[in-house]
Each structure stands twice: as structure tokens, then as C-alpha cells.
Amino acid sequence: MPQGVKIICYADDLAVLTTAETSEGMIRKTEEALYYIYLWMNQNQLEVAPEKTTAILLNRKTKIGGIQFKVGGKYVKPTKYSEIPRNNTRYWANLQSTCKRCLRKSKQNCQSYMWTTSEPKRTVLKKKKSSCGINAKYNSIRRSCMGRGTKIPTDEKYIAFQQRKMALRICSAYHTISTDAVLVIAGLIPLHLAAEEKRELYVKAEINDEVKNYQRRGTYQKWQEEWDTSDKRRWTRKLIHNVEDWTSRKHGDVDYYITQFLSGHGVFMDFLHRIKKIRNGNCMYCDEIDDAEHTLFCCPRWENGRSALLSDVGMLTSDTLIMKMTKTSEIWGKVEAFMKEIIIEIGKDEKARNPKKK
Ligand SMILES: [Zn+2]
């Protein structure tokens, strides 16, 4: 396929997505792609249906003028995205199903990165984030449709659910974690805010970096307000005060071990007791109530590791932990190693206590 042309297939449905600098380039690339598709279909005794073919121009500024594409011997003239009538439910339904398919596909990508890759962690995280970006993009199209007052059936819940799943995979969190907390830990802007940002950008006359940065700051502010007023996840909020500082940090990946401490959902007795896995929520080493805070800052079992860490990085409290971790990658690495050691040791001690349990 020519550069800048993407093909999305599903059963007997086919979408050709072309990006180009100029209208001429777009026509040339699309016709070339359509020609290849025609050849392939011909070889496989298939036929394209020109009467069912539609084209949408996803750009406000380009004028349709003489733009048209030859499909199966007929010319198809594109409609402008902003000019599709609101009552044309077929267009919106098609757009919606394409969005859903892309969402599913990027979720699969995200999962495969999670389980099969052996690349350095940071790269993986970036890739995972970018596949989430795809979702945000497609969903923002959906959202802007909804903002225009169209009456397509909406499934915001489904999309929010998919974003939650992605966030769970990015930071390997327990499934009991609340959505707002997992999105903050994974550093994913909630879709309703990301979509609102895109929608506001969409109606702007001129879009440049300054405008984008201004919108992004507004989004962070809204996210922060939601985070501050959320009545759940008080522990995570105690650690992560500022979502912007946390999300835009320059180093540090969240993983299975760190996430347990950030969320409080992990191998801590109090949590396991709350989800009715065990009868008693007290620490198996000192009989205090065992939560993430106790394990990290108080429990005598980890005193040696803790004093070694504190002598390296200075005083740590729940209020200053994240601030210090995000300051330098060395501190992040040391705290991460300490957290990992604790979780692994708890696993071993638990196994020694209950050898029959898997
Ligand atoms: Zn203890």
C-alpha cells in the first residue's frame, strides 16, 4: 500500500484511511490503494459494490471541489465529516462500529505488548500508551458526534470499561481497584475528559502548540478537580496529590509491585480480609492492621531494608514518597527495589505458613 494509507478490514467490510498533505496527493494515494484492492479482489473472484461505497473527508479546511474516487468503474464523491446530516443514522452507525473495531484491535495490541514483549520497560509503556491514544482518537470522533446532538445509540460505559481494562494492564493492577485510581496510576486521562479536550480543539479556528498546551492544562485541571473530590481511593490520593506532575514525570514505570503499594490492593492482610480471602486483617509479623502504609512505613519485619533505603534517600512519608520518587530515577529505582523485595518476601513467607496453598 502507498505510504499514509491504512486498511481496516472486518468480514466483508473494508475501510481505506488515507492521510496526505494535499488533495492531489490524497486522490493519487487512494486511487492507487483502490487499484491494488481491485486487483486482489479480482484474483479472489470478489467484487466491490460501488453503490454501497462512501467517502468521508475528515478535514474541515480542505474544499471538496473536484475530489472524487473511482470505485468499480463509478465515481464516488466524498462528503465532509462536518456536513454529514445528523439524521443520517447509517453514517453514524458505521462510524461507531469502526470505532468499536479499532478499539478492540488496539486492546489486543495492548495485551500482546503486555505479555509477549521483551523490550525495555519504558518502550513498552510508550507503546501501550500510544495504543491507548488510538482509542482516545476514535472515541473523540464518537464523542464529537454525540456533542452534535446526534441520536446514535451511545455506549459510553462500554468504552470507559475498555479504557479501565487497558489501564489495569498497563500497571498490572488487581481487578478490585477503582477506575479513577487505576487511570491515575496508569497515567491515562479519563476518556470523557480527553474527548472533551478534542471536541474543544475541534471547534477552534486555529490549532497550534500553544492552543493545544492550553487545552491540555485545562484537562489536567478538570482531572485534578475530579480526583480531589473522589470519595474513593483515599490512600492513592494521599500518595499522588497532583495528577499532572505524576502523569508527566520523566522517568519511572509502574509495575505489579509498585501498583500494589500505590493502590493498597495487593498482598496486604487488611485488603485480603476486606475482599474476604482471609479471616483476619492483622499483620502476620506484628499483629497491627496490615495495609500498604503499615507495610511500607511501620512494619518491623522490613526495618532493615527500610533503614537502608532511608539512609540513601532521606526521610520518606506517604506525603513525600511520590514527590521524591519522581524527582530522580535513582530514588525511583531504590524505592521500587524495596517494594519488589517486600512483595516477593511476603509471598515466600505466606507459602511457608500455608504450604498447601498455591
Ligand atoms: Zn507488621
Q: Ligand 1 center to residue 353 CA distance, Å?
A: 16
Q: Ligand 1 center to residue 226 CA distance, Å?
A: 33
Q: Ligand 1 center to residue 290 CA distance, Å?
A: 6
DSSP 308-343: HHHHHH----TTTHHHHHTT-HHHHHHHHHHHHHHH
Under 8 Å between Cβ of 218 and 278: no
Under 8 Å between Cβ of 346 and 267: yes
Tell me how far CA of residue 189 lies from CA of 160, 260, 338, in angstroms: 11, 20, 29
Q: Ligand 1 center to residue 218 CA distance, Å?
A: 42
Q: Ligand 1 center to residue 286 CA distance, Å?
A: 4
Q: What is the pLDDT along the chain (358 residues), one digit of tens a residue?
A: 888 888 877 777 778 888 888 888 888 888 888 888 888 888 888 888 877 788 888 776 777 777 888 887 788 888 776 666 666 666 667 666 666 665 565 555 544 433 333 333 444 444 444 444 545 555 555 555 444 444 344 567 777 888 899 999 999 999 999 999 999 999 999 988 888 888 888 887 777 888 889 999 999 999 999 999 877 778 999 999 999 999 999 999 999 999 999 999 999 999 999 999 888 889 999 989 999 999 999 999 999 999 999 999 998 999 999 999 999 999 999 999 999 999 999 999 888 887 766 5
Q: Ligand 1 center to residue 318 CA distance, Å?
A: 17
- The C-alpha cell that represents 182 in the structure block: 487505576
Neighbouring residues of the ion ligand 1, judged by CB less than 5 Å: 283, 285-286, 299
Predicted local confidence at residue 357, as pLDDT: 60
Under 8 Å between Cβ of 292 and 268: yes
Tell me how far apart the alpha carbons of residues 321 and 97 are, in angstroms, rounded to a whole number.
44
Q: Ligand 1 center to residue 347 CA distance, Å?
A: 15
Q: Ligand 1 center to residue 32 CA distance, Å?
A: 68
Q: Ligand 1 center to residue 263 CA distance, Å?
A: 18
Q: Ligand 1 center to residue 225 CA distance, Å?
A: 35
Q: Which residue, among 79, 75, 73, 62, has the nearest Cα to 26 in the 3D structure?
A: 62
Q: Ligand 1 center to residue 268 CA distance, Å?
A: 10
Whether ipTM exceeds 0.90: yes
Q: Ligand 1 center to residue 314 CA distance, Å?
A: 22
Tell me how far apart the alpha carbons of residues 198 and 190 are, in angstroms, rounded to a whole number.
13
Q: Ligand 1 center to residue 170 CA distance, Å?
A: 29
Q: Ligand 1 center to residue 289 CA distance, Å?
A: 7
Q: Ligand 1 center to residue 282 CA distance, Å?
A: 8
- The C-alpha cell that represents 102 in the structure block: 479499532
Residue 15 forms beta bridges with which residues?
Answer: 8
Separation of first and last alpha carbons in the chain? 51
Tell me how far apart the alpha carbons of residues 238 and 223 are, in angstroms, rounded to a whole number.
16
Spatial neighbors of 11 by CB under 8 A, at least 6 apart, are none
Q: Ligand 1 center to residue 146 CA distance, Å?
A: 51
Q: Ligand 1 center to residue 172 CA distance, Å?
A: 25
Q: Ligand 1 center to residue 253 CA distance, Å?
A: 27
Q: Ligand 1 center to residue 221 CA distance, Å?
A: 38
